[in-house]
Amino acid sequence: MASFDIFCEPHMGCVKAAVDHVIGIIPNRYDWQGTSAAYSLKANSIEMTASSYLQLDQMLQELCWALRRELVSLAFISVGKPKKVNGDYTVRLGIERGLTKAWGRYLIDLIDSMPIEAKCTYQNEEVRVQTDNLEDAQRLIGQLRMQPFDIPIHYRNLQE
């Protein structure tokens, strides 16, 4: 038996490129110079700090444009509640990962409709696929890659 997992997450290299781009904007915006405007990329989040709520909103808009330029879906970004700390405003933007149940069901139905015999289960926001042999698993991944998904689908742990 061969198996692999199907999961969904943004390409972190693209997220990093977007954050690096907006960090470079800070010194070029005259209205942000000399303020506490800052972006910080963490493992599962992006943190923004600003001098005012208006500036925080402007920074969020710039970040959204940069993420879209890097082809990162904004569906992966969850915006937390802004907090005021020592006179500055901060907000944490979560970077979401995983397949929703609806996407998991869609992928399982799609795989079931293909001519390759496979057993699929949805668990831990991923779809686990098992086939009779490695060649079937590789053919199945090849057919899935030809599908036009609206979300970034990734495959891992292809093993026999």
Q: Is it true that domain 2-9+99-159 has CATH number 3.40.50.300?
A: no
Section 1-5 average pLDDT: 90
Architecture of the CATH domain 12-95: 2-Layer Sandwich (3.30)
Q: How, if at all, do strands 88-95 and 83-85 pair? A: antiparallel
DSSP code at position 124: T
3-class secondary structure, 116: coil
CA distance 150 to 122: 19
- 57 Cβ contact list (under 8 Å, min separation 6): none
Section 43-63 average pLDDT: 95
Helical axes 134-145 vs 101-112, angle rounded to 10°? 120
Amino acid at 95: I
CA angle centred on 19, ends 14 and 22, rounded to 5°: 125
Integer angstrom CA distances of residue 105 from 39, 120, 126 = 37, 10, 10
Cβ atoms of residues 48 and 93 within 8 Å: yes
Predicted confidence band of residue 150 (pLDDT cuts 50, 70, 90): confident
What is the pTM assigned to this prediction? 0.72
CA distance 41 to 47: 6
Quick: pLDDT tens for 119-143: 999 999 999 999 999 999 999 999 9
Section 97-107 average pLDDT: 90
Which residue spans of the chain are classified as CATH 3.30.70.860?
Answer: 2-9+99-159
CA distance 90 to 36: 10
The terminus-to-terminus CA distance of the chain in angstroms comes to 6
CA distance 135 to 90: 50
